[in-house]
Structure 1
């Protein structure tokens, strides 16, 4: 494969990843800016993606959104991740016990992706959703997974930057390594306002049959509700992570788990 072809493929994939629930429709200029290419290059790539059904143009507003081909692929992925269907009752129970939103997330480079969510019954809820990406170093889910990666892996993941999201975010690699060592020892993570000020989250790792951490379960909510019952919430999150791990190790084939890694 030539360098030009490889570059075009990379940019096309970046275009697809630029869409999200927060930004479901984008203009040509916005796409070009996000991907870092000229408008003419972006237009050419969009035309190719559009011909294959991956992008659809809204002629009324001259914007673009993801097409039906993406939906077909996403349904295929969901079917492969059999564990997601089986973890619903675990999350429902965790949210019922804590009163807060619960999640299952995996690591993708230096970010976490939320694969499953059970909403809190409170009217005001978190700005989280399935498919959302958050920086791993300042979220409880991310820290719960990162804690079981090799220190050299952590260095590679964050060699460029430890982004400061709030005043409580960890911005030093040595401090992050120190925190992860603590998380690894106690078996859970607590993030207090590191990603969103005023929000506290608790996360615990989920293991596969090879005893490798491949995901995390977490609970997050306003600190005024989380802090008074923090230890109880920690116990519930750890209990849930242990139960999911037991289910995975007893019932889920390795091939299903490999999809997460």
Structure 2
């Protein structure tokens, strides 16, 4: 009985390895190519594919003889996507980020050339920053805004800069060259900072949230009083980035962070 169970587990592992070969980069495979890729016995792969095909997990083209994922994955994929609700996925991570950082955590989306707070979890500390849901934030001064600005293509970024970089405080960056350098750094590090640039007495850090198409769909960040925030900048940056990565994975993102 035990040996039979081990055999079944091995067959399941082989089946899963076969299915994982079918990606957007290579959606179709011949039997020979699968054998070379997986270094598995041809007869074994053929039997597994035949079983998968009988249950609509795999289809095979009569003309080319190539295999591809079947209709079952359309249904399964739609089910997964329907569960990928941003606020639902982010809620737990907002709470956790606030608790471990000791600061207010907020979730923002891009809207009409601004970053807008769509969810907030307040800091447990008495002295805290308490932003409101619906608050619109500057793209070049706030940390979530900078995340969205860094997602602009070069032409759109240039157009934004040409419209003027109005300062929110004396610390707001208003130099086109410095903004371009900042955007380049954000794209590389996947982190944006607001060090008293949007409001005199507060600072914040944000990171991008990606979906399964590798698109930036939101930003998560932490915000707090400047004096306290400055002392824990590096630690909070890591916490924010980890939170963004966790949410992104739940949204189907498979890239690196």
**TM-score of the pair, normalised by structure 2:** 0.63
Contact 2:104 2:130 in 1 (8 A): no
Partner of 2:214: 211
Whether 1:109 aligns to 2:112 is yes
Distance apart, 1:85 and its partner CA:
2.4
Of the candidates 116, 121, 140, which is equivalent to residue 118 of structure 1?
121
CA distance in 1, matches of 2:183, 2:190: 10
Whether 1:187 aligns to 2:203 is no
CA distance in 1, matches of 2:130, 2:120: 11
Of the candidates 76, 81, 96, which is equivalent to residue 93 of structure 1?
96
Contact 1:107 1:136 in 2 (8 A): no
- CA deviation string 1:186-211 (max 9, x = no partner): 11011100001131100101111110
Distance apart, 1:127 and its partner CA:
4.4
Partner of 1:55: none
Of the candidates 227, 248, 251, which is equivalent to residue 248 of structure 1?
251
Q: What is the SS of the residue equivalent to 2:86? A: helix
Whether 1:232 aligns to 2:245 is no
Partner of 1:143: 146
Point out where structure 1 has 5 or more consecutive residues left out of the alignment.
Answer: 1-79, 251-261
Cα gap change, 1:155/1:127 in structure 2, threshold over 3 Å: closer, same or farther?
Answer: farther
Partner of 1:177: 180
Distance apart, 1:223 and its partner CA:
1.8
Of the candidates 148, 151, 166, which is equivalent to residue 163 of structure 1?
166
Q: What is the SS of the residue equivalent to 2:252? A: helix
Q: Pairwise CA RMSD of aligned residues?
A: 1.9
Higher gyration radius (CA)? 2
CA distance in 2, matches of 1:145, 1:156: 14
CA distance in 2, matches of 1:205, 1:248: 12
- CA deviation string 1:44-77 (max 9, x = no partner): xxxxxxxxxxxxxxxxxxxxxxxxxxxxxxxxxx
Return 91-100 or 155-164, whichever deviates more.
155-164
CA distance in 1, matches of 2:167, 2:160: 15
Whether 1:133 aligns to 2:136 is yes
User: What pairs up with 1:75-94 in 2 under 5 angstroms?
Assistant: 82-94=85-97
- CA deviation string 1:202-260 (max 9, x = no partner): 0101111110112110001012211111111000000000000000117xxxxxxxxxx
Point out where structure 2 has 5 or more consecutive residues left out of the alignment.
Answer: 1-82
**TM-score of the pair, normalised by structure 1:** 0.62
